[in-house]
Chain A
Amino acid sequence: MMSFITPHLPLLDLIFIGTGYALSQAIVFRAGTFSVATSGFAALGAYAAAILTVKHGLHPAVAVGLGTLLGLLCGLLLSAPLARLRGVYQAIASLAFVEILVALILFFEELTGGPLGFHNIPRVVTPWILFFAMLATMALLTLLGQGGIGRAFDAMRQDPPVAASLGVNPARYHVLSFALSGAIAGLFGGLDALRNFSLTAEQFGFSILIGTLSAVVLGGRRAVLGPLVGTTILVLLPEIFRPLADYRQAVYGLLLVVVMAFLPFGVYDTIVMKLHNRRLARAGMLAPKVPKAMT
């Protein structure tokens, strides 16, 4: 969280990139996987883009593209071992993956600058670029969600055996969700690297993992807008409470606790749910039992 709310960076950048990461996280949740590997994929995309631009003189766009590709490939690779695990074990395995990656990044100093970080990265990414990247990703995920892939993900998430008995090949969609997650994270990682002059491995460690996770859960796991809402809350609220700067962590923590206690499905998802229910209640003769979630 500490790096997530670094006070020196423009807030919009943070919101756009943060949403990108959160979308990468959200897509695996939608498919029913409890992976938190997003920050690992992002690290790969970021370092790839940075190294290719600075050390090999590649055009930034190409470098970011290759970073995205690397994220995608890593997602594909990781999907296989994680497919054999369930729930919390997937989370821990993906956490282990991230930690291994961070440790390796720190170790291979020659390549990555190690603990001192990687510097002198050209700052070519503007907030506009980030905005369009975020918008494009959200559009993609919305369209995807409305079609066959979205239906398959939803079924797999809610009842894998039933989904399979309706013809959904679990392995195929599992891999797909990881590939998507990896690609999105790789993309935003690359963009993140090129807007900041420097990179450190810690940027992609446990802190950002938690921040991304919180953004998704806070905003809502179901709707594509959920991650945006969650990220915005997490970026803006501490700013609003700037006078309490020293207690930033406490504010952040309190926010998480309070939102979870009252809106466990996330702010945006809960709003969508309530509106949906109200529409049904008005239209129907019956008052349907209030559902516990809209998944």
Chain B
Amino acid sequence: MIAQQVLNGLVLGGVYALFALGFTLIFGIHRIMNMAHGAVFMSGAFIGLFMVRIGLPIWAALPIAMFGAGLISIFVEVIAFKPLRKLALADAELASVISSIGAGLIILSVGQYVSKTQTMRFPFGTVPIDAIVVLGLRVTMLQLLMLGVAVLMVALLAYYLYRTPQGRQIRAVAGNYRAAQLLGVNPNAIFYQTFFLSGALAGAAGVMVGLAFNAVQFLMGEPFLLKAFVAIILGGLGSVPGALIGGLVLGLLQSLSGAYLPALLVDAVIFLLLFVILMVRPDGLFAQSMTESPTKRV
């Protein structure tokens, strides 16, 4: 029934939100699209899986997966984005997209090798399969975990960005890279931090998705990245609260349309929504960037 779908949607939405947050963080700060984000997400799932396989409980595996994904994200920044920073932004944009695609492919192929192209699963019992009943809805432990992780991560991120000096620096750089540099902010430190955070968030999302669908596979990132664009655009590129709301809306949409529409149309609906949003309100709900036509009278 609908309420159950809504619950499922919110849980899925939480994961989308984590993923979208990581992506939008990079875009908001550096104005670049990190196309390796899906691969980082996948590597988080892989690390989480292997940690569980060697005997760690999920609550230990998760932070390790996040940490690992964060490091992999820094690797992406170093090989794909750093070499291009010396270029003017306009030239660097497209080149960075391609470069990050390349980095993503490298990570993907490692995943392929490690998994021997098989789909892997978390061992039975990684998360207790009990469920509780709340307000007439059946909520599994897994769903609680996913919601809890999402909420915790968002809260931690918000705290970091808005209440710590490092976070303030990150937000300063988002406004104006040059000015921040002149004020003594070390841009490299900012880059490493934001990429690490982005990766950690993606890694958390990866573990959650791996658990939720009980499938960890080296290609799991791609469809996620594409759909996550909806969340990111809806909320507004570069907006943290936007990514959160966008993720939740996307999760709800996918869950509800999945229940009532043929599977093949769900994708069409989601991307149609993306297109419509771009037509109607490209800046999203919490706009951060301008999309004015440069040749109309203002």
Contacts and interface: CB of A to CB of B under 8 A. Distances in A.
Interface string A70-104: 00000000000101111111001101110110011
A250 B106 contact: yes
Interface stretch (A16-24, A118-126, A212-220): A212-220
A93 B276 CA distance: 9
Contact of A247 (B103, B109, B262, B291): B109
A204 B107 CA distance: 24
B294 A249 contact: no
Contacts of A89: 233, 237, 278, 282, 291
Interface of B: 33, 79-80, 83-84, 87-88, 91-99, 101-110, 112-113, 222, 226, 229, 233, 237, 262, 264-265, 267-268, 271-272, 274-275, 278-279, 282, 290-295
A94 to B, nearest CB: 9
Contacts of B265: 103, 107
B88 to A, nearest CB: 6
A86 B93 CA distance: 13
Given A97-B275, A161-B295, A87 B93 contact: yes
B88 A81 contact: no
A264 B91 contact: yes
Interface size on A, as a range, is: 35 or more
A271 B252 CA distance: 51
Contacts of A106: 264
Interface string A41-59: 0000000000000000000
A106 B112 CA distance: 27
Nearest to A255: B102
Nearest to B87: A264
A16 B220 CA distance: 31
A217 B94 contact: yes
B8 to A, nearest CB: 21
Given A99-B271, A104-B268, A256-B101, A164 B282 contact: no
B271 A86 contact: no
Given A161-B294, A292-B87, A206 B222 contact: yes
A221 to B, nearest CB: 8
A73 to B, nearest CB: 18
Interface in A265-295: 265, 292-293
Interface string A246-269: 111110111111101110110000
A150 interface: no
A170 B295 contact: yes
A249 B112 contact: yes
A265 B282 contact: no
A246 B112 CA distance: 9
A133 interface: no
Contact of B109 (A88, A221, A249, A257): A249
Contacts of B88: 292
Main secondary structure of the interface of A (DSSP, over half): helix
A264 B84 CA distance: 8
Nearest to A159: B294
A85 B282 contact: yes
Nearest to B282: A89
Contacts of A99: 226, 267, 271
Nearest to B39: A253
A160 interface: yes
A138 interface: no
A141 interface: no
Contact of A164 (B229, B237, B295): B295
Contact of A92 (B113, B233, B290, B295): B233
Nearest 3 CB-CB pairs, A to B?
A: A256-B102, A253-B105, A250-B109
Contacts of A135: none
Given A114-B264, A264-B91, 10 more contacts: A97-B271, A97-B275, A206-B222, A213-B98, A218-B98, A249-B105, A253-B103, A257-B102, A260-B80, A261-B83
A100 B98 contact: no
A58 to B, nearest CB: 28
Contacts of A264: 84, 87, 91-92, 95
Contacts of B99: 256-257, 260-261
A248 B274 CA distance: 33
